[in-house]
Structure 1
Amino acid sequence: MAENPEEQKQTSPSPEHHHPEEHNPEERKQTSHSPEHHDPEEQKKTSHSPEHHDPEEQKQTSPSPEHHQHAHGMTNCEHDGGGGAYRFGQKNPRRACCTFLVVFLALAGITALIVWLVYRPHKPSFTVVAFAVYGINTSSPPFVSATMQFTVVARNPNHRVFILYDHLSTFVSYRNQAITPPVMLPPFFHERKSTVAISPVIGGAAVPVSVEVANGLALDEVYGVVGLRLVLMGKLRWKAGAIWSGHYGLYVRCELLVGLKKGLVGQVPLLGSPHSPCNVHI
């Protein structure tokens, strides 16, 4: 049985009836999941690949070398006084100055230590080797007049250091009171590893003392044993090569026990421990 061609034409689905353009384009865009139909803006937001990162955002989040230098104290930068900027790769002048100062002080300290060990000065020694009396008058208290002479040997123990003595004075005391006026001594130069003998004549003028001192001195002369103290004071300087030190105070105290009797004139024996060194304070 033959069918109507027109009816067959209407009922037969032809390829043209399924043309894509007949469907709604917006609906197809929403339902399609193929990569070709993805929204470019949405793909830019959801993509995490490095190629789709925003350049402005990457500039804000990426730490630059300058930020690292500011965070770490700008150790390799130099401050530009004109604009307040820092130049990368240059040393800090303040750090260089501090380093030079530390090295200089360390070298100066080492040099001073070596010089001190090589030229370390030792204080001189003083010893009374002889004593003579030319008169003691205790008959008119509270005044005492005495004339004495001491022979003192000074020794310089240093091998490389010279000593210069100046502003020296000396006097004699009894029971912590002076019985002679101070006498000025001329300055003298002390060679290294040498001895110098000085024999000053001390006294002559009357000195006011207490009654106890005058009576005690007269009583000791009766027994023939008198305790005296010889004092030397002044300043000294050290000389090592061409280097002179500053002035140092010198105080020498010599405790003596002499065999002195009333009316005896001349050489007087030293009792106790003769030739014993004096106490030296610098």
Structure 2
Amino acid sequence: MADQEEPRPEPAHHHPPPNKMTEDDEKKLRREEEGAAPSARYGYPVVRNRRRTLCAFIVVFLVLAGITALILWLVYRPHKPKFRVVSAAVYELNVTSPNLISTTMQFTVVTRNPNRRVSFSYDHFSAIVSYRNQAITPPVVLPPLFHETKSTVALSPVLGGITVPVAAELVNQLVMEEDYNGVVGLRLVLTGRMRYKAGAIKSRRYGVYVRCDLLVGLKRGFVGQLPLLGSPACRVDV
């Protein structure tokens, strides 16, 4: 019996060993991944990148606008105007019982603009005189006024000339102060609107309220220039 050949073992397939990444290759791959856009790494839509860019642009714009506004405010920040009454005169003062007062008064008011770069303009300006918080003259409308930088302007409005009804107690108090004290406390009130102007920049119109409290020497029947016994700087509210 012929000898049977034994089956030969099949040769083993030798697979080449996998290429090992060097440290330099790993660093290069890592740099490529980090440099890739978020949409490429994570599949985010490109629209998200555009929104982020737009938001960043808006934030930068608002910050720059705020810094510019702050610089302009520091350079042009306006100081309020200053008012002071320097003289007062009475040309008529008639007290009629029980509750009527007729008076004609004139006040000289000096107003100063302390700003070097900002000017003022006034309109709808009116003035009244009050005694113990009650008006004793009707409102008088003053002409518009433009106040240059670092300048002083004098106003001399004449108020009154019309009989004004007041409380009977007010008439009695005024008569007593004229007869016994010879000192009467009056208040000159100026109201209107004003606007700041710095170069070509103009602000919106603001309401302005000026209150000047005075102590004047006044005797019954006296007419003419009054001595000012107390005339502090007027209070200005803008």
Q: TM-score, normalised by structure 2?
A: 0.84
Q: In 1, distance between residues paired with 2:40 and 2:206? A: 55
| Residue 241 (str. 1) matches residue 209 (str. 2) | no
Query: CA shift at 1:140, angstroms?
Result: 2.8
Query: CA shift at 1:73, angstroms?
Result: 7.4
- Summarize the alignment of residues 1-282 of structure 1 with structure 2, pairs less than 5 Å apart: 16-17=2-3, 19-20=4-5, 36=10, 69=39, 72=42, 74=44, 77-79=45-47, 92-223=49-180, 224-272=182-230, 274=231, 276-282=232-238
Greater helix content? 1
Over the matched positions of the two proteins, sequence identity in percent amounts to: 61
73 and 123 in structure 1: CA distance in 2 versus 1, 3 angstrom threshold = farther
185 and 71 in structure 1: CA distance in 2 versus 1, 3 angstrom threshold = same
Query: CA shift at 1:207, angstroms?
Result: 1.1
Secondary structure in 1 matching 2:195: strand
Query: CA shift at 1:71, angstroms?
Result: 7.5
Q: Which amino acid aligns with 1:119?
A: Y
2:113 touches 2:147 (CA, 8 Å); kept in 1? yes
Q: In 1, distance between residues paired with 2:179 and 2:43? A: 88
Q: In 1, distance between residues paired with 2:220 and 2:108? A: 22
Two-structure CA RMSD over aligned residues (Å):
2.8
Q: In 2, distance between residues paired with 1:121 and 1:233? A: 19
Q: Which amino acid aligns with 1:279?
A: R
Secondary structure in 2 matching 1:129: strand
Query: CA shift at 1:260, angstroms?
Result: 0.4
Q: In 2, distance between residues paired with 1:204 and 1:92? A: 75
Q: In 2, distance between residues paired with 1:265 and 1:95? A: 77
Q: TM-score, normalised by structure 1?
A: 0.71
Query: CA shift at 1:203, angstroms?
Result: 0.6
Q: In 1, distance between residues paired with 2:97 and 2:43? A: 86
Ranked by relative contact order (alpha carbons within 8 Å, sequence separation 6 or more), the top structure is 2
Deviations 1:205-230 (A, max 9, x none): 11111111111111111121101111
Q: In 2, distance between residues paired with 1:141 and 1:172? A: 20
Q: Gaps (5+ residues) in structure 2?
A: 20-32
Q: Which amino acid aligns with 1:117?
A: L
Q: In 2, distance between residues paired with 1:234 and 1:130? A: 22
Q: Gaps (5+ residues) in structure 1?
A: 1-13, 29-33, 41-46, 52-64, 80-90
72 and 252 in structure 1: CA distance in 2 versus 1, 3 angstrom threshold = farther
Runs of 4+ in 1 over 2 A off after TM superposition: 68-74
**Match for residue 27 of structure 2?**
none
Q: Which amino acid aligns with 1:260?
A: L
Greater Rg by CA: 1
2:92 touches 2:104 (CA, 8 Å); kept in 1? yes
